[in-house]
Amino acid sequence: MPTVVLMDSSLSMTRPVSQEGSEEFQRKNLAVHGLTMLFEHMATNYKLEFTSLVAFSSLWELMVPFTRDYNTLQEALSNLEDYDKTCLESALHGVSNIVQQEWGSTCPCQVVLVTDGALGIGRGSLRHSLHTLKQRVEDKKFPLPFPFPAKMFIMCIANVEELQSTDAMDNLEQLIGLNGGEGQIFTMEGPLCLKSVQSMFGKLIDQAYTPFYAVLHCGNLASDVQVFPRPEPVLVDEEVDPIPKAVQTDLEIVGFIEIADISSPPVLSRHLVLPIAVNKEVDEVGAGTTEDAEEEPSANQMAGKSPNFCVLLHGSLKFVLLNQNNFYSKKKSNLMMSLFEPGPEPLPWLGKISQLGPISDAAENPYGEDDSKSPFPLQPKNKRSYAQNVTVWIKANGLQTDVQKILRNARKLPEKTQTFYKELNRLRKAALAFGFWELLKGVAELLERECTLLPDSAHPDAAFQLSHAAQQLKLASTGDSQYSAFNHNITPLHTDFSGGGAGDRM
Amino acid sequence: MDVSMMFSVSHKTAFVVDHCPYMAESSRQMVECDMLTKSRGQGVIPLAPVSKSLWTCAVECSMEYCRILYDVYPTRKLVHYIVSDSEFHSLNSWRQEDQSTQELMAALASVGPPNPREDPECCSVLHGLVAAVESLCAITQYQHEARRTLMDVADRVANRGRIICLTNAKSDTHVRMLEDCVSETIQEQNKLAAGSDRLMPIQRCELVLVHIYPQGDDTLVSDRSRKELSSVLSSEVHSVRAGRHLASKLNILVQQHFDLASTTITNIPMKEEQHANTSANYDVELLHHRDAHLEFIKSGDLHMAGSTSRDSGLKETVTLKWCTPRTNNVELHYCTGAYRISPVDVNSRPSSCLTNFLLNGRSVLLEQPRKSGSKVISHMLSSHGGEIFLHVLNSTRSTLEDPPSISEGCGGRVTDYRITDFGEFMRENRLTPFSEGVLDASGRTSSERAKAQLERHTRYWPMIISQTTIFNMQAVVPLANLIVKESLSEEDVLTCQKTVFNLVDMERKNDPLPISTVGSRGKGPKRDEQYRIMWNELETLVKAHVGSSERHQRVLECISACRSKPPEEEERKKRGRKREDKEDKAEKNGKDADEKAWPDSERLKGPQEREKEEQTESEMIKDSPDSPEPLNKKPRLMSEEIQPPQKSKGPVSLLTMWTNRITATSRKHEVFAGRLNSVNNKAELYQHLKEDNGMDLHENGKATR
């Protein structure tokens, strides 16, 4: 989940903080201190996170594009200059553009806004933006809610009392509200000092940047892993099932499925699964590894040398299905976990996940002895319309094509007896369902006319079949239940020419 | 109202189609069906064009609505089809089994067209509307299930629905009368439902009145957009000419009602019907859930992405370009959504060509047409089990790029993982669907059984080759495969016992074992020590399963009885045995087997301890853990070499075989026994150098299966 740090560089950030001790701090110094702490945390514990830095006042500027290089971010932070007044709306537009250009509009992001709570005055101030919310024209909409899923964390270099003495707090709360309630406002407790800014950023880290550690189990085999980015809880159905579903820290493999069977499934999110060493206890599975006592290997080296289930799995992997809704795949040589939409049946072609069981329980191996078969995909009970030759006459040419098919076959009787009656019955069924009796009469007339136009060389059977078919259609068009039953089919007239017969030729 | 919500208004749709005598009137839209005649010259009088009745128009358009609905939502979106004349006729129910156009067509055929001679006075669409309201109060199986699982909060399960009424109204006043009737009926039914367990009051009802009138007539009813009639009921009126206007109206409605959007696949190459060797490019329009366009909508790209045709305000389609598939290799795309499709013109040749192509198992990538810049693949069409899905592919930068290499992480430096074995393990633990509610004897569901199987299979599963001896031995495979089973048959036990006897035989013949040399200096443990390690490991494996059943227990007993005895015991037996002859024989046997059976296996070079007979083998190159595994000849040869002698003795009882092995084993090992008294074995090792026939170490000596 990429992060955009949106740093207020307006003049008000240079306000000094009254300090009992020696040094005099500006609010900006406190903000930089807090962000440094955040960057340091990410560099050690969350280093795969992409972060960018945007500074804003009345204008905004992308200081550092998305990067995992925290030194660059830190450097840019310490070289920040001071500008004029705060204008949040244009800065948020900037954030929206930057994120969409880089990640599109489906990738969830986190925005960390660092400000002193002085949100500008007059036009361009947040107060003004919020007041004019409802008077916007299409292309001048307020940037919130963002087109991508976003969490907004507002870090105020100010305490609650100060924010509440103006309408700053209300405005910020309204901002979170506009973001669909996704986010939080953090304020400083007690005097504005390094300690309180640390504690405030500490809370942000706890809230949004704690790594997700889990244990990946496969029966009795297990591995400690970090899942990155950390999986966020998902709301399934707000109305019936409003409790967010979170991923548990015990990831259990249920079994395995071929990659061709899972076939590019839709997923909510994808996560890297990285094996980790927990507290030097790397040796628990490493009973048979080298015990080179001469040099003391570092914990990391040790970890590298102990067999890890993740690496094994990765090495042999085709496909894994685990827990309820996750699966692993190997892509570009990394173990990846994808989350399915929560629910009993995330993939129609796999069926219900809870109904997947071991192949050894099946009467015979559903994959065949030589892996030539597969129990997947599951076939739905009813065929879709495009797979079952439905009749649609909404457009005139649909009807014309169907009539022509019958006439074409009529001219090739008795060779085409079978297809002739097949098409005739298809038309008959549809006409009966649509109450289109006039069509039945019309086609009957056409067939009678065809009968009269038969050349002398025609097989005698053709005339018999045509008049038989015409007569049957006419009977059906009367609505007489004996002849107009939907499931009744017109069968070829049994004739007996030259010993054979139309029936035999079919 | 969001369609994705489980019980939104679109959960239940009641169709009410007017079947009164006036619906038999002609729509006056003529269809020429005698097309061929024109090309047939003179003398043939073409058939007069036919025209559909208002009823036929209403029925076929409603069927088209249902066809699209069922294609895109095969479950959970239900239709109740009601026909109204002098009374109402219910053609199906909310049950999922009743939800198919086939069923409805059959039911419609039995109703037939309206009877123009019926007394118009007793016919009305009102009967159908009242029945529709009543039916919206009826609980569906999905609502029932949701209420059952949410016992304490059952009131969260909502009851909403939509009534689509296709009729021919007399006037705006007539329409008002119909609306009032629906509104009143809802009030009455809700009172009834409040006191019933099997009914649910309607919380929200959308009434969609479609007035159909013949072509050429002036409409007597005016269009009206949605209006709230009460807190429960809203109503809208559409006044439409029969024929294609009605068809496109219902097509728009089904899109609105079910959050659908349209995509046109363009540039589909298709063989011409007449000229088979030429091909032209065609377009096919598909409907699907509008979330498939989410990325376009959000980025404001909808128009850029080539959306066209805006004749009705809603009829907007996104154009995506067909990319001819290259190969059909299995690739896992990063897909953020998959939505079922329904072709707009299902019977047209381009549509059926496309759908048949996809149903035959091919996938098609779709490209977003852009005026400039590189091409972007944004979607994919693919079928799964006879259903076609539009997959949304991620086309932007991934946040997971440049991940740390797995070889730098934990366990990344280990090179001798049992990769092939784990591949086999995964094959054995593949999943397959079982029918609903199938529980085993102990009441476990399918996935619980799958997990239980994984647990059993991993009770003892060393991850690297150098951690294990038995899993590198083909001879152990039969037992290792069986012992993990939940229950064993008598025959399985016998196979396990045979495996054990086979091992005993190998030990008697002093066959070398594929013991790992990793971590040991020099040539590693002696032969009898190797067997001790092997037996211990085998016991560990079997002990892990001993609790499963009494038969598992018997396998362990067999091992305990057969395996080489601990050193002290052997020490005692050492004296007073005439063993020279047999020992020699055994060694010779073993040697023969060695030379044939281990052609590829490596030997650690220990020049000082090489015997003449071994020289051929020691020339072999050392295997690295990654190199291909030895030929699978070995195990077969082994068992063939070993088994004939015992069989040649004629039928022997199990007991005799067993005792034979035990005696043979105990004798053979006396040679090494004393050595075990020392701590590090070294003194003894050199002493017995000459006797250690073929005891160099084998690594990775396991055969592939």
Token code pair at residue A375 = 């129990």
The pLDDT assigned to B189 comes to: 95
Rg (CA), chain A: 36
Q: How far apart are the first and last CA of chain B?
A: 59
Taking alpha carbons only, the member of B547, B608, B586 closest to residue B667 is B586
Amino acid at A312: L
Query: In the 8-state DSSP scheme, what is residue B430?
Result: B
Q: Chain-centre distance of CA B413, in angstroms? A: 34
B561 in contact with A, Cβ within 8 Å: no
Q: Cβ contacts of residue A25 below 8 Å, gap of 6+?
A: A16, A17, A19, A192, A193, A194
Question: Cβ contact (<8 Å) for A313 and B433?
Answer: no
CA distance B386 to chain A (A): 7
Spatial contact of A234 and A245, defined as CB atoms under 8 Å apart: yes
Query: In the 8-state DSSP scheme, what is residue A245?
Result: B
What is the DSSP track for B116-139? TTS-GGG--THHHHHHHHHHHHBP
A–B CB contacts, 8 A cutoff, strictly below: 443
Chain A residues with CB-CB distance to B91 below 8 A: none
Question: Cβ contact (<8 Å) for B519 and A288?
Answer: yes
- What span, in angstroms and rounded, lies between the C-alpha atoms of A240 and B158? 8
CA distance B211 to chain A (A): 18
Q: What's the whole-model pTM score?
A: 0.80
The pLDDT assigned to B513 comes to: 79
Spatial contact of B474 and B541, defined as CB atoms under 8 Å apart: no
Q: B406 has which bridge partners?
A: none
pLDDT in tens, chain A (506 residues): 899 999 998 888 888 876 665 567 788 888 999 999 999 999 988 888 999 999 998 889 999 999 999 999 999 988 888 888 888 888 999 999 999 888 888 888 999 999 988 887 777 788 888 888 888 776 678 888 888 889 999 999 888 888 888 888 888 999 999 988 889 999 988 888 888 889 999 999 998 998 888 888 888 888 888 888 888 887 766 666 677 777 777 888 888 887 778 778 888 888 888 888 764 333 333 222 222 222 222 333 334 445 556 555 555 444 444 433 344 444 445 677 788 877 777 788 888 877 888 888 888 888 888 778 888 888 888 889 999 889 999 988 889 999 999 999 998 888 899 999 999 999 999 999 999 999 999 999 999 988 888 888 888 888 999 999 999 999 998 888 788 888 888 988 887 765 444 444 44
Q: Chain-centre distance of CA B12, in angstroms? A: 29
Token code pair at residue A458 = 């025609």
Amino acid at A267: V
Token code pair at residue B345 = 């013109």
Give ∠ CA B649-B651-B654 in degrees, rounded to 5. 105
Chain A residues with CB-CB distance to B414 below 8 A: 289, 304-308, 311
Question: Cβ contact (<8 Å) for B403 and A272?
Answer: yes
Residue of B399, B421, B444 to mutate, testing the A interface (most A Cβ within 10 Å of its Cβ): B399
Amino acid at B189: Q
Q: Quick one: average pLDDT of B285-290? A: 94
Q: What does the pLDDT look like over B448-460, one tens digit per residue?
A: 888 889 899 999 9
CB atoms within 10 A of CB A503: 15
ipTM: 0.84
CA distance B567 to chain A (A): 24
Q: Where are the beta strands (DSSP E) in A20-175?
A: 25-26, 51-56, 60-67, 109-115, 150-159
Task: Please state which of the ranges A268-272, B343-347, B360-364 shows the lowest mean pLDDT.
Answer: A268-272
Q: B417 has which bridge partners?
A: B464
Chain A residues with CB-CB distance to B451 below 8 A: 219, 252, 254
Does residue B676 register a pLDDT over 80? no
Chain B residues with CB-CB distance to A339 below 8 A: none
Q: What does the pLDDT look like over B515-545, one tens digit per residue?
A: 765 555 555 667 778 888 888 888 899 989 9
CB atoms within 10 A of CB B526: 21
Q: Chain-centre distance of CA B696, in angstroms? A: 49
Question: Cβ contact (<8 Å) for A310 and B150?
Answer: no
Going by their DSSP bridges, the two strands B160-167 and B88-90 should be labelled as unpaired
Q: Quick one: average pLDDT of B644-668? A: 56
- What span, in angstroms and rounded, lies between the C-alpha atoms of B592 and A326? 53
- Give the SS3 label for residue B245: helix
- What span, in angstroms and rounded, lies between the C-alpha atoms of B588 and B573? 23
Q: What does the pLDDT look like over B191-215, one tens digit per residue?
A: 999 888 889 999 999 999 999 999 9
Spatial contact of A385 and B67, defined as CB atoms under 8 Å apart: yes
The pLDDT assigned to B521 comes to: 54
Higher pLDDT, B596 or B550: B550
The pLDDT assigned to A440 comes to: 93
Instruction: HSE, CB side, 13 Å, CA atoms: give it for residue B431.
Output: 35
